[in-house]
Structure formats: structure tokens, C-alpha cells
Amino acid sequence: MQHRDRIYIGGAWVASSGTETIPVVDSSSEQVVATIPAGVAADVDRAVDAAQGPLEAWSATPAEERGAALARIAAGLDRRRRQISAVIAQELGMPLDQSDAVQVGMAITTFASMAPVVDLLPPDEHVGHSLVTYEPVGVVGAITPWNFPLQQIAVKVAAALAAGCTVVLKPSEVAPLNAFLLAEIVDEVGLMPGVFNLVSGTGPVVGEAIASHPGVDMVSFTGSTRAGIRVAELAAASVKKVALELGGKSPNIVLDDADLDRAVRFGVASAFSNAGQACSAQSRMLVPRSLLPAVEEIAVAAAHSYSPGDPFADETSMGPLVSSVQQQRVRSYITRGIDEGAKLLTGGPEPPEGLETGFFVRPTVFSEVTNDMAIAQEEIFGPVLAIMAYDSEEEAVALANDSVYGLSAGVWSASPERAVSIGRRIKTGHVCINGSPFDQLAPFGGCKRSGLGRENGRFGVEEFLEVKTLQL
């Protein structure tokens, strides 16, 4: 049992002004394994004050020095990689090796990729008789989710620090322990006191205090669309800049000339990644109607290769969901899909055999899903794949775009040119062509109700900059 009784403000571990704590639950055993401070608005006030103090000095620090600090953070994460991976496997439920590669590995890569800061910052330029420059937006409030906890902290914190901003971080209270380990590494690295601050707590208390605080110049939020709307509403009162990475219901279009086995297996893997708890999960598979029987057979075989279980067991390929709330939500959607007439190929709402304890859900595949069903339109955030048939390319694109979301998509074809042509017509911020691996240097973000702004690489750094014109 870990008892975290301090938050990190102004370069020091200090007691919260509140007296309550929040339990952290092991998603496999359902046992409380830690507690963290339930921060309050007064903690946010202290953290914002601390962040404002070094802002001018940090923004004036040479880019090479800021980059060197980010490199030291990346090295610190790497030194403690196995410990952090184990913590995330416990609090989130992702299998240990996957946690190491994805959750921690991507965070290390993010900090390391931001280290050459001078190459990421846009240069001053002359326009007419003016000089156009870029400067840090100021104090950044970073509010991060539980599904990719450390990776999402990294893409916000590393980019903001690279830009010359200071940060007040509120990690998800559901999977917060990794953020405390990051704060320990930041403390060891020796950043200017106040450049990085950590306040743990709930969204309605700490998150809302950050979003509405007049001393916060920008809020970068990742989470549900509902919560993102609330953040934007609160931020609007002080007209602060907002970046939002929200929900998704991503389509995966398999064209008639695609390598069917590869496309379907990759699609199942995308839908089941992190037990389906990914905003970019390709949870809608759109396939030619004539190929539906073959697709169903491949999808069921692929789904059966996922064995839910203990995240620390070598044979486990899918862990539990993060919480009881999430488990019940996903099971209710599976039941709703059955009630609405979708064809259940495998899985179901019952717990996996022998896993009655823990927040486990059966890997589930539906077919003959129509676009008016809830499982085709609403973000489930669990290992549930909806297979939908189409009769023409035009219908496939129309189905893909018939969504309030616009985060990610996939297209499969033997012709890369054909796949790119279709990808250009899909209204999302990100399209994966023929299973291409995720690119951490390319911009990632969405449109419609999937959010505002972009993360990763220089595009992520630019989100934390303001444009200034000096008329000469």
C-alpha cells in the first residue's frame, strides 16, 4: 500500500490544503493499493502562483538548455522504466510488456524527441514591413486521462516546456501514480522551481479550478467530449487558449482489393488495443458486403487470440478495464447491441470464465451493425468491434463520415494511391493507411467533437506558442 501524502508545487513536495484522500484501485484484484491527496482549489492557486514565478526566466532560457532538461527527464524515465511499467500495469490493467512498450516507451520517446528544441520552434520571419515572432503562451494547465496516463502527460508537458511555458498538471485520479513518479524524476533533474507542478484530485474540483483560473493562460485537456465541453466553457470566461483531444468512433474502411486477412486482423488489434480504451481505436470496421462472411470468420479467429487475464502473467494479451464504472459501461453497450439486433459473433456481457474478480470484459465482435445502432455511433471505450457492410465506395465514405466524431480512421487497399484518395475524403484528423505504424513526430488530433488542436513534434510545440507581430 502506497500512501502519497504530498503534491509537488514550486519545486518541493508539500501537503495539500485539503484533508481528503482518493483511493487507487488495482484493476485486476479490485483492491485499494494506494491513496493520493484529493487536492482543492487552494492547491491550484498555490501551483499557479508557483508557475508564474519562473515563467519569464524559463522562457528566456536558451532552447538548447530547455532541450537538455527534457533529455534528462527522458533518461530518468528510462532508468525507472520497469518500475513505472509495473505501476501502470497495476493501476490501469494493461499487460506489463505492453505497458513497457506503449505507456512508458512512448513517453520516453516524446521527451527525447522534444530535446532538440531549437529545431521545433518556428523561426522569426519578415512579412511586409513587420517582424513575426513566436513566444510562449504562459502558464499551461494540463489535464490528462487515465487510458494513456504517462504518454498523454508527456505530449503535453514536454511540448509546453519546450515552448518555454510552465506547467500545472492534474493527472487522472483513476491512474495517477505514474505522474508522481514523473514528478520525482523532474525533481531529480533540477528544473527551476515552479516550472513543473503537480496537483492531484478530481476533475470537478482540481480540473475545474485549473480551467477557470485567471492565472492559467492555456488549458490542454484530453478526455471525454462531455468533459472537454465543460473545460471549454470554464476557460471561455477568461478567454484562455484551449487545446482539446476528445473522443472518437473511428472507422476502418477495408476496400475490395485489400489483403483481407491482414486488414481484418489489424482492425481487430486496433479495436482491442488497451482493452479498447483508446480514443483512436478503430471500433467500426466497414467492409464490402460480398466479403462479410469471410471478414466475420477472420475477425472471430483474431478475437479468440486475445486472452484476458492478470496483466503480470506472460500469457495475458488483454488486461482488465480500468474501473468498475468502465466495466459496467462497456457491458451495458454489449447488451444494448444485442437488444438492437446486431449479430453477436463472439464475446458478450458476461465476465470471462474464471475472471469474476477484476474489471474484465470479454473481447466482443458484432456484425450486421447498422448506422442507427448505439454501438455504431457512441464511443464505448472497451473491446467491442462493430462490423458494418457497404455496397460502394461512396457508401463506405458516407458511413465513415456519418459520425459526430472526427479523430482517426483506417483505410486498406492493395493500391496505396487508392487508399490515400479515400483517406483524404474521411473527415478525421488522422488516417492510418494499410496499417502504417503510429508516427510520434506527426500531428495527432481531431475535428468535429473529437477536439481542437494537435499534439506531437513541432506541431505540438506550436500549440503552446503565441504569434506576435512587430511592425518595423
Spatial distance between the Cα atoms of 227 and 221, rounded to a whole number of angstroms = 9
Spatial distance between the Cα atoms of 439 and 48, rounded to a whole number of angstroms = 33
- Give the pLDDT confidence of 113-158 residue by residue, as tens digits: 999 999 999 999 999 999 999 999 999 999 999 999 999 999 999 9
Per-residue 3-state assignment (H helix, E strand, C coil) for 159-177: HHHHHCCEEEEECCCCCCH
Hey, how many other C-beta atoms are within 10 angstroms of the C-beta on 470?
Answer: 10
- Give the pLDDT confidence of 339-389 residue by residue, as tens digits: 999 999 999 999 999 999 999 999 999 999 999 999 999 999 999 999 999
433: helix, strand or coil = strand
Of the pLDDT bands very low, low, confident and very high (cuts 50, 70, 90), residue 422 is very high
Which of 208, 245, 296, 379 is catalytic? The answer is 245
**What is the structure's pLDDT at 1?**
83
Evaluate whether 2-246+450-471 and 251-439 have a shared fold: no
The grid coordinates of residue 52 equal 508564474
**What is the structure's pLDDT at 257?**
98
- Give the pLDDT confidence of 428-472 residue by residue, as tens digits: 999 999 999 999 999 999 999 999 999 999 999 999 999 999 999
The conformational region for residue 93 under phi > 0 = left, psi -120 to 50 = alpha, else beta, is: left
Judge whether residue 30 has pLDDT over 90.
Answer: yes
Average pLDDT, stretch 211-234? 98
Q: Which residues of 15-25 are buried (b: 16+ CB within 10 A; e: fewer)?
A: ebebeebbebb
Which of 91, 165, 279, 463 is catalytic? The answer is 279
- Give the pLDDT confidence of 228-277 residue by residue, as tens digits: 999 999 999 999 999 999 999 999 999 999 999 999 999 999 999 999 99
**What is the structure's pLDDT at 54?**
98
Q: What is the DSSP string of 395-426?
A: HHHHHHH-SSEESEEEEE-S-HHHHHHHHHHS
CATH superfamily assigned to domain 2-246+450-471: Aldehyde Dehydrogenase; Chain A, domain 1 (3.40.605.10)
Domain spans of the chain, in order of start: 2-246+450-471, 251-439
The whole-chain average pLDDT of the chain stands at 97
Q: What is the pTM of this model?
A: 0.97
The CATH class, in words, for 251-439 is alpha beta
Catalytic site includes residue 279: yes
367: helix, strand or coil = strand
CA–CA distances in Å: residue 2 to residues 26, 290, 399: 12, 55, 48
